[in-house]
Structure 1
Amino acid sequence: MQKGLFILLLFTVRITFAQKKPLDHTVYDAWQSVSSKQLANNGLWAAYNINVQQGDSTLYLANLKSGNKIIVPRAIKNQFTNDSKFAAFIIRPFYATLREAKIKKKKADDLPKDTLGLINLTNANITKVARVKSFKFPENGFGYMAYLMDKPDTSKTNNPSPKKDGDFADDEKESAASKKVEGTDLVVKNLLTGADKTYKFVTDYLFSKDGKLLVFSASGSKKDKAAPQGVFLLNTEKGTLKTLVKGRGSFKNFVFDEESEHVAFVGEQDAEKKEIKDYNVYYNALTLDTAQTIVDYDMPGLPAKWSVSGDGKVNFSKDGKKLFFGIAPIKTAKDTTIVDFEVAKVDVWNYKDDYLQPMQLKNADRESKRSYLSVIDIYSSDPKVIPLADVKVPDSWLVNEGDADFVLSSTDFGNRISSQWSGSTLKDYYLVNTKTGVRKKIIEKLNGYASASPAGNYIIYFDEAKGIYYTYNVQTTKVTQLNSGDVKFADELNDVPDFAKAYGIGAWTEGDKAVLIYDRYDIWSFSPDGKGEPKNLTNGFGRENKITFRYEKTDPESRLIKPNAVIWLDAFNNLTKENGFYRKNISSNKSPELAVMAKYKFSNLVKAKDAEVYVYDKGNYAESPNVYATIDFKIENKLTNTNPQQENYNWGTADLVKWNTPKGYPSEGILYKPENFDPNKKYPMIVYFYEKLSDGLYTYQAPAPTPSRLNISYFVSNGYLVFVPDISYTTGYPGQSAVEFINSGVESLKKNTWVDAKKIGIQGQSWGGYQVAYLITQNNMYAAAWTGAPVVNMTSAYGGIRWESGMNRQFQYEKTQSRIGATLWEKPELYIQNSPLFMLPKVNTPVVIMANDGDGAVPWYQGIEMFTGLRRLGKPVWLLNYNGDGHNLMKRQNRKDIQIREQQFFDYYLKGAKAPIWMTEGIPATEKGKSWGFELTDEKP
């Protein structure tokens, strides 16, 4: 009887296990993810969103003490008040309602609008306000909030009168006038009393940090001449309103000083509509009744034919003594007498240009809005503009929050043309005096980067050509070399034909006493003056155990680390791929203290400002990432349970596999297997690759219509093995490097009886797509191939343009990913040897090519060259061009389409399924948009 019961139970377990269904293409939209984690400052409340791929997001407010949760459908952009008593958020319209309105092609003003939600966290009472555009809380103060309303709903009352003869001219005038932005109601609410006050026609607004002041601009109304126009300052505690600037104009870029005693902004008050605006800088101290114009067009120090920029940021120094703002050359107004159809439209390329015309055109809007940093001493008896940057030295950064008497500036002027083939430029760095504008060059032609220490005592820079960090002492001008010896602080595994990039700087300690710098595994503490030996802060524990430690900044407002601080370290085990967190007292000589390390991916650690409470994401391939809360990682509180429906599907496992290549190189990769894997069966396998991906062993692979990469979880659930090998490269031979690592990894797996050696496919996109194209020219080990955006002819691609950025492609081959390491004319044989196009007659593998006419990274005609070559040779080949879409598919409908085609293609060649019509017959242009060819047929391709 007991034996029979055991057999029955075993049979039941097997049936239950077998009943798990494979994923299908209908599951994507409802699949969940978490985002937007926050903690209230007191650590009592956590907020997070659970999103679906297509549909409505849901906001959760979780009380970490009681376990109670407040759930708000469709809410996003949550913010807690500084005192942790309130939370506010935006409630979006229903996704379905918004979709329906767009289908009906409703105008933007007639689309459903957002709603403001405000929750009192002490009693869970919620207040909702319809048609709200934005809201703000003071950064550090509490007790007040402000929100800006959307336009009133006029869709039901807007019944225009029939036009009379001659009304056309009036319509034109109305259209021109309506171009002026008209403000809406701003509501300022006292959260403690519930009282609120409304201000009309507001266009922009900002709280001071302490919340005691609120500055806003009002546009006035074309229908009400008495409506408020100008800039106003509200004292929230007293309820008094001060007019800073009266009259119409455009005012923006408001900023308060640190102590909330001064406010500044830019604006123009010209009553006439002009293409070129004449901006001024306005300033107000609380002791004054109105704002002063402290910088205008004839201000001393302002360069000739320059003016204040309306696009530049405005900032006070932290001590409030200096005001930084942007200036720019006065633009040339468009000549309205020129008729477009009577003049030539031509791009003139000149070999002396800093940038190629496509890059100039791509960046034209950004460059037209470029501003150059300048400063004025607010308390000077003889104030004048001090330009800190110009067209030849355009980039500048404040030092010590603007309190330093200099800024750090850089330029690559004179070195820009070389970016065509190097991808980067050599830069000069300057210290620019904020009192005089005098520049002092401190670094010349640096191949690397430089930055200032928090207190401004040092400039630290990394010279990539030498692999060395240096500091420049601002007071003494002494240059100190920080690192020497065998420890490398740049990428030890660099396999591109360029200088290795630095691992980076973690942080500085208080008073600029030390700087924390990363090597591959550990964190080092260097004295910037070079005195004393460098200290391995993690005690060599990282290199000894092959764990990479990185500083985890849990206080976003902190600029430095205090001397005896205990800091959090993100930890990644390079051998096992496990992840976690350690703690380290930076004054201690002990090794880091383990908090948690597990077979998961931990990410997005957030700490409460005023409490030792943390939230973070945790997940792995088998477990959808969830939000957890903890105080010490010894006990964790799971706040979410995303994707419970996953239990109903045949999921999978992820295993780390290792092998040696034919040349003896050790390599590794990930092998994904179905949850119901049976070693006594044979499985088809798809090989997917892109550089090195094995570090993602514990990364969750959500089923989704992907932009281009393989939909791993879908194929694994449907009975495929998926193998993801790492690749290391030898300069000059990227194609053969792929053969060395990918094919050897496949051969090592083929030794397992459960791998069907005759049913192996490959898939890759972009650089991976190139390698797919190359691999199928080398042998016939793959039964099917899918390549997205491949380069197949390096000789024709070499001199082309990456249209998304306007950059020339030469740098890619000489310095970066394509890894040729020489020009086309220096080593033409390498370009030919690595180009699949010249070996197409050897291809016997059926292949699908995705090449989109909107691709801004790889010229889509590369895919055409491959298709037409294989077509002429009579090889089975298909090409998909998703019209107007990019290098990676951005349109969700296209992503969904390609998932089906990819599944049908691999199912036919690797599983023996029926072929779809799009493969057997194609889709004639006359049927485009009417038929998609997904129907299966008994015909063969």
Structure 2
Amino acid sequence: MALLCFGSFIAHAQKPVINNDTYKSWIELRDYHISDDGRYVLYNYGGEAGGDTKILQSTQGAYKKVLDSLQQAWFIDGGNYVLFIANKKAGILKCGEDTLQYIPNASELKYCEAGGRKWIFFLREGNLLQRDLQSSTIKSYNDITKYWLNETGGSLLYFSKNKLTQVDIGTGKEKVIYTGPVPDDITFDQKGQQLCFLLKGEENKIFYFKAGGDSAIAKITSGSRSIKKGFYVADEPPRFTEDGSAILLRLGKETAAPAVDTTVIAANVDIWNYKDAFLQSNQAFTAGEIRNRKYAAAFNLYNNNLIQIENQDTMLASSIGSRYALVRPSTFMADMYWNPDLADTYDLLSIRDGKRKTIASNQTSMTISPNEQFVCWFDTISKHYYTYEIKSGITRNISDGISGSLINPGTIAKVAGPIGTAGWLKNDGALLIYDQYDIWQVDPSAKKRPVNLTKSFGSKHKILLRAGIDEDKMSQFELTSQLLLAALDQQTKRNGFFTIQLNQENELTDHGLDDCLYFVPNIYVDHPRAPLKARNSNEYLVTRQTAREAPNVFITDDFKHFKQLSSIAPQANYNWLTAEIHHWPLEEGGEGTGILYKPENFDSSKTYPIIYNYYELRSNELNRFWSPELPNGQLSIPWYVSNGYLVFIPDISFRAGEFSSDLNNIISSSVAYLKQYKWVDTKRMGIQGHSFAGYITNILAAQTNLFAAAQSTAGLSDMIVEYAGLGFGGKSLIEMTEEGQLKMGSPPWAKPDMYKANSVLYTLDKMTTPILLVHNKEDGAVPFAHSLLLFNSLRRLNKPVWMLQYDGEEHVLSSTPVRLDYSIRQQQFFNHYLKDGPLPGWMKAGVPYSSKGIRSGLNTR
């Protein structure tokens, strides 16, 4: 049986090719940490076959310690030691030394510094042990059910024999603060001076304790006067606001079975009404969710006021601050662009006194600044950012004066969304905003003109400049600080870093870019982490990868010179791949961009079949390293390239309503470009895509005769089917079709020819491309009807079409057996049409329903 690999190509390869079992033994970098002084790193790698291997390594010398079979490991004491858990024991390793100190039968290991000493806590056989890190002396607490560490407050809490005891770790002084059932969990405020916990029962209670108090008290109960009638304290753990002034909790709503109307004749009727805020299908889907919905609330510790933030008609629009929350109506806002009865109003709610004020309507990207001085949003009409100053009540345009475009180029013009922001500086001193290439610093009070921090260097050189740190860390930076930037050349895809001075324009001259990928925020899903800085030194950990080289850990102190620390290279054992960036002229003007993958053992004297793969703009993935995972609806690039195919990924962009024409322009011009290479077999070209890329595949297969085979997973085929369809949660797909990713821009009755031109049904009689469809009945994103329409129509025309439908699977294939089955059938399909491989039984004669689960049809004999 030819199930895994095909063709004589394999017999002549100097290295083994990727097969459908390779993923099992594949290893990859998992996680990494750096000590506070930057002298040591701790990283781990592993794969599906076995546990992770952890490495403790010096960044300056030759020291390297391999730590196998550990569940967890982390730095303590600023990085002087590593604490670890392995099976039923724990241990300590002093960095730079080889001897591991094991602690047998230890669990729930924790570390704390208090009273001028360093402590390790762990449970053993029902006892809590407190061990001095330096002297190894041990103090024991007996019959312990559970314990918690308040590291900031320097205290220990343990529960024993129905009592919760607080221990001052420095002095050893103990105090019983609560008697009763064991709490589920305990939450401390940031200063370590307060704690709260939920006690479940017939009447849920939230207990509260403050340092210096006598005992924890039931501060909030389901029967409290401040809780509205019909609501109760929900079974969710409470927490403190950032400043510790309030306890945040969730409320449940009591529900009683409604009395049945005596006039009901048929109980099994759904009544759809054009005035419904939510479709009946969506109401049915969310009925249980609404019935069990929990509502955000805040209990103010200064005045004992409980403010209910959400109710049946409102929901949170952003995270809750220490003083304010943003709320909006609980309405299906996707209908807002056409429904005049809907208004997406945003109210600023004080969680101290409950006062609320409407500050904006029908806006996007609404947030409260970290210090809660401003509310910020992007106006889709004026295409500018605005702030509302909470103290003065004044609304201001803060981006007026920015010369670059702030609009995400992938959105439709009339509802265009923003590219985004890099975050707020310290004390809400400024907001950093992205245009297409550069970064601007704006004054939230609009008193100062916006400052182009990168002085248009990005737009002049077509280099994307973005913050080189995570957005949640931006608020630590002052106006006088320096900021690390990540840079990506949009022509070459080279990546590197710059450092700029905030609050002024910067001259950027030294590119310092490398042919690899370090970090660019949001470059793709699961993009690499931002550089990780040592707390007390200028050393940074970064990962570096290319299409040819697996991600590894590097250290740098200047972002010009990088020292490699890890050496993970699973690809070295296989016939791997190379990646090239290509540019070509489009037929209607402009330039196309794409990535071409070749086998490592590429021979320009041979010809290779090629498969197109795509999904909007992907050329920034040039230096992305692909692991040979079983695909979940996509194409395994490593498998196909290793097994003698070329894979080409062109960027796909299109104007509103012009999807098919713009797509055909990009693809046909790319084919004409690739024909110049004699090693590209343009008579043996395939196309493959999933979801939106499945739609691309269907259009290309139906409207061109360029391709010898097409495989579409969960793809759209007809814009009317999509317009009339239901997506996730039983929601209408009208907004997705008109204003969302599909960008039709108008309803079908306004431009019927446009809907026809962007659908496949009307050209199927001319279709010559054999196609394999994969679509599941339970797909909640793209209705199964799309592929059913395409299959039935092609079958009616007696054209070669097959369809796979996996029971229990949805939009993305999830189970390993299904992904393996899908992989093999996809490989057999392309192998037959692009490499003259044998026709498997499931393609030749099919598998009758009566043989489902009994015969696979994979046999090619």
Instruction: Using the TM superposition, give the Cα deviation of residue 389 of structure 1 relative to its aligned residue in structure 2, in angstroms.
Output: 4.1
Task: Note if contact 1:459-1:472 (Cα within 8 Å) is conserved in structure 2.
Answer: yes
Q: Deviations over 1:709-763 (max 9, x none)?
A: 2211222222222111112212223222221211221122123222222111111
Aligned to 1:378: 301
Cα distance in 2 for partners of 1:465, 1:138 equals: 53
Q: Is the counterpart of residue 577 in structure 1 residue 501 in structure 2?
A: no
1:220-255 CA deviation, whole Å, 9 max, x = no partner?
Answer: xxxxxxx72354433333444433332226x34522
Q: Residues 623-677 of structure 1, C-alpha deviation per residue, up to 9 Å, x if partnerless? A: 1111111222343221222224x33433232111112222223211111222333
Q: CA deviation at 1:408?
A: 3.1
Q: Which stretch of the first structure deviates more once superposed, 425-434 or 281-290?
A: 425-434
Give the secondary-structure state (helix, strand or coil) at the position aligned to 2:611: strand
Which amino acid counterpart does residue 535 of structure 2 have in structure 1? K
Deviations 1:390-429 (A, max 9, x none): 3334317677x62xxx30322034664726989x985323
The residue number in structure 2 matching 1:637 is 563
Distance 1:725 1:386, change over 3 A: closer
- Please give the alpha-carbon distance, in whole angstroms, between the structure 2 residues aligned to 1:20 and 1:922: 36
- Aligned positions of 1:240-389 closer than 5 A: 240-248=173-181, 251-252=183-184, 254-268=186-200, 270=201, 277-311=202-236, 313-318=238-243, 320=244, 322-332=245-255, 352-360=275-283, 362-363=285-286, 367=290, 370-380=293-303, 383-389=304-310
Look up the match of 2:315. Answer: 394
> What pairs up with 1:57-206 in 2 under 5 angstroms?
57-91=52-86, 116=90, 118-121=92-95, 123-126=97-100, 134-138=108-112, 143-147=118-122, 189-192=131-134, 193=136, 195=138, 197=140, 200=143, 202=145, 205-206=147-148
Structure 1 position 379, deviation (Å): 4.4
Q: Is the 8 A contact 1:583 1:595 kept in 2?
A: no
Is the CA contact (8 Å cut-off) linking 1:208 and 1:214 kept in structure 2? yes
CA distance in 1, matches of 2:337, 2:107: 43
Q: Which residue of 1 aligns with 2:8?
A: none
TM-score under structure 1 length normalisation: 0.81
The alpha-carbon distance between structure 1 residues 768 and 254, as it changes in their structure 2 partners (threshold 3 A), is: same
Distance 2:106 2:470 in 1: 32
Identity percentage over the alignment? 29
Equivalent AA in structure 1 for residue 546 of structure 2 = N
Q: Counterpart of 1:229?
A: 162
Match of 2:6 in 1: none
Structure 2 CA distance for aligned equivalents of residues 115 and 368 of structure 1 = 45
Q: Tell me the distance in 2 between the aligned counterparts of 1:135 and 1:831.
A: 61
> How far apart in 1 are the matches of 2:824 and 2:462?
41
CA distance change for structure 1 residues 196 and 811 in 2, over 3 Å: closer, same or farther? Answer: farther
1:834 lines up with 2:777 in the alignment: no
Query: Which one of the candidate residues 10, 35, 43 is aligned to 2:38?
Result: 43
Q: Aligned to 1:601, what secondary structure does the other structure show?
A: coil
Amino acid at match of 2:464: T
1:728 counterpart residue number: 653
- The aligned residue for residue 261 of structure 2 is none
TM-superposed deviation, 1:118: 4.4
Per-residue Cα deviation, 1:583-617 (whole angstroms, up to 9, x for no partner): 11214543247584111111321111122111111
| Aligned 8 A contact 2:305 2:352 in 1 | no
CA separation in 2, counterparts of 1:285 and 1:486? 49
Distance across 1 between alignment mates of 2:49 and 2:349 = 50
Q: How does 1:365-764 map to 2 (within 5 A)?
A: 367=290, 370-380=293-303, 383-395=304-316, 402=322, 406-413=323-330, 416=333, 418=335, 427-443=344-360, 445-484=361-400, 487-491=403-407, 493-494=409-410, 496=412, 499-553=415-469, 559-592=475-508, 594=510, 596-603=512-519, 604=529, 605-644=531-570, 646-764=571-689
**Alignment correspondent of 1:896:** 820
Q: Is the 8 A contact 1:584 1:593 kept in 2?
A: no
User: Any conservation in 2 of the 1:315–1:325 contact (CA below 8 Å)?
Assistant: yes
Partner deviation per Cα, 1:761-780 (whole Å, 9 max, x = no partner): 11111111112112122232
Change (3 A) 1:143 1:346: farther
CA contact (8 A) 1:693 1:725 kept: yes
Q: Which whole-Å CA distance do the structure 2 matches of 1:905 and 1:495 have between them?
A: 36
The alignment status of 1:23 with 2:18, answered yes or no, reads yes
Say if 1:579 and 1:602, in contact at 8 Å, map to a contact too. yes
**Which SS does the other structure have where 1:62 is aligned?**
strand
> What letter is aligned with 1:247?
G
Report if the CA contact (8 A) 2:38-2:534 is conserved: yes
Q: Is residue 300–residue 385 contact of structure 1 (8 Å, CA) maintained in 2?
A: no
Moved more, 911-920 or 563-572: 911-920
Distance of 2:113 and 2:811 partners within structure 1: 40
Question: Within 1, Cα distance between the matches of 2:411 and 2:312?
Answer: 36
Check whether the contact 1:595–1:633 (CA below 8 A) recurs between aligned residues: no
Provide the residue aligned with 1:207 in structure 2: 149
User: Residues 189, 889 of structure 1: CA spacing in aligned structure 2 closer, same or farther, 3 A cutoff?
Assistant: farther
Name the CA distance, whole Å, in 2 between partners of 1:215 and 1:361: 46
- Per-residue deviation at 1:352? 4.9
Counterparts of 1:931 and 1:32, CA distance in 2: 34
For 2:392 and 2:337, how far apart are their aligned partners in 1? Answer: 38
Matches of 1:637 and 1:540, distance apart in 2: 31
Task: Tell me the SS of whatever aligns to 1:470.
Answer: strand
Specify the SS of the correspondent of 1:569. strand
In structure 1, the residue matched to 2:746 is 822
Query: Do the aligned partners of 1:785 and 1:848 also contact (CA within 8 Å) in 2?
Result: yes
In structure 2, do the counterparts of structure 1 residues 702 and 375 end up closer, same or farther at CA, with 3 Å as the change threshold?
Answer: closer
- Alignment partner, residue 7 of structure 1: none
SS of equivalent residue, structure 2 residue 518: strand
Uncovered stretches (5+) of structure 2, i.e. residues with no partner: 1-10, 259-265, 520-528
CA 872–571 in structure 1, closer or farther in 2 if over 3 Å, else same: same
Q: Determine which of 771, 777, 799 is the counterpart of 2:702.
A: 777
Between the aligned partners of 2:31 and 2:113, the Cα distance in structure 1 is 18
- The correspondence of residues 807-818 of structure 1 with structure 2, limited to 5 A, is 807-818=731-742
Question: Which sections of structure 1, spanning at least 5 residues, go unmatched?
Answer: 1-15, 93-113, 153-183, 219-226, 271-276, 336-342
Sort the Cα spacing of 1:116 and 1:360 in 2 relative to 1 into closer, same or farther, 3 A: farther
The whole-number CA distance in structure 2 between the counterparts of 1:529 and 1:630 is 38
The answer to whether the Cα contact below 8 Å between 1:311 and 1:370 also exists between their aligned partners in 2 is: no
SS at match of 1:747: helix
Provide the secondary structure at the position in 2 that maps to 1:772: helix
Bigger drift between 591-600 and 26-35 goes to 591-600
CA contact (8 A) 2:198 2:207 kept: yes
State the match for 1:792 in structure 2: 717
Q: Please give the alpha-carbon distance, in whole angstroms, between the structure 2 residues aligned to 1:659 and 1:357.
A: 49
- What is the RMSD computed on CA atoms of the aligned residues? 3.3
Contact 2:422 2:471 in 1 (8 A): no
Alpha-carbon distance change, 233 to 523 in structure 1, aligned in 2, over 3 angstroms: same
Residue 934 and residue 481 in structure 1: after superposition, are their counterparts in 2 closer, same or farther (change >3 A)? same
Q: How far did residue 300 of structure 1 move?
A: 4.4
Equivalent in the alignment of 2:3: none
CA separation of 1:500 and 1:859: change in aligned 2, threshold 3 A: same
Structure 2 CA distance, aligned partners of 1:201 and 1:361? 47
* Residues 212, 237 of structure 1: 8 Å contact kept: yes
Name the stretch that deviates more: 56-65 or 130-139: 130-139
Counterpart-to-counterpart distance in 2, 1:435 and 1:936 = 72
Quickly say closer, same or farther: Cα 1:872–1:813, change in 2 above 3 A.
same
Structure 2 CA distance for partners of 1:622 and 1:237, relative to 1, 3 Å = same
User: 1:849 and 2:781 equivalent?
Assistant: no
